[in-house]
C-alpha cells in the first residue's frame, strides 16, 4: 500500500497531528510514571484519537474520513467524560 496524501494541505496537517500524537504519548507516559492513572488514560485516549485521524491525512485507507473523525471525537469525549466523572467522584 503506497503512502499517499489525501489533500493538498496534508503537508500542513501531518506535522500538526504528529506533534499532537507525541504530546499525547509523552503526557500518558509521564502521568503513568507519576501514578496518575486518570491523566494517563486521558492522554492515552488523546494519542489514540490523533493516531486514528492521522491515518486520514496519510490516506492509509484504514478508515474513511468521516469514520476517523467520528472515532476521534468519541475518544476525546470519553476522555473528557472520564475527567468529569472522576472529579465529581472526589467531591
**If you ran DSSP here, which 8-state letter would residue 79 be given?**
H
Would 76 be classed as within a structural domain? yes
Mean pLDDT calculated for residue range 55-82: 83
Residue 5 lies in a domain: no
**Contact residues for 81 (Cβ-Cβ < 8 A; gap 6+):** none
Q: Which domain holds residue 68?
A: 10-89
- For residue 4, being part of any structural domain is answered with no
Q: Do the domain assignments include residue 3?
A: no
Question: Is 2 inside a domain boundary?
Answer: no
Classify residue 69: in a domain, yes or no: yes
Residue 65 or residue 84, greater confidence: 84
The number of folded domains in the chain is: 1
pLDDT at res. 90: 65
- Report the pLDDT value the prediction gives residue 12, as an integer from 0 to 100: 80
pLDDT at 1: 44
**Phi/psi at 5 (nearest 5 deg)?**
-100, 135
Answer yes or no: is pLDDT of 6 > 70: no
Residue 19 burial (10 A CB sphere; 0-12, 13-18, 19+): exposed
pLDDT, averaged across the chain: 84
Q: Are 80 and 41 in contact (CB under 8 A)?
A: no
The CA distance from 78 to 24, in Å, is: 15
**Structure confidence at residue 43 (pLDDT):** 93
pTM of the predicted structure, to 2 decimals: 0.76
Q: Give 42's DSSP letter.
A: H
Amino acid at each position: 500500500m503506497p503512502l499517499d496524501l489525501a489533500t493538498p494541505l496534508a503537508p500542513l496537517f501531518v506535522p500538526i497531528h504528529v506533534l499532537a500524537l507525541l504530546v499525547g504519548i509523552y503526557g500518558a507516559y509521564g502521568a503513568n510514571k507519576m501514578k496518575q492513572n486518570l491523566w494517563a488514560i486521558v492522554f492515552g485516549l488523546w494519542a489514540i484519537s490523533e493516531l486514528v485521524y492521522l491515518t486520514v491525512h496519510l490516506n492509509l485507507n484504514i478508515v474513511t474520513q468521516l469514520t476517523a473523525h467520528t472515532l476521534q471525537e468519541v475518544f476525546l469525549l470519553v476522555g473528557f467524560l472520564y475527567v468529569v466523572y472522576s472529579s465529581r467522584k472526589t467531591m
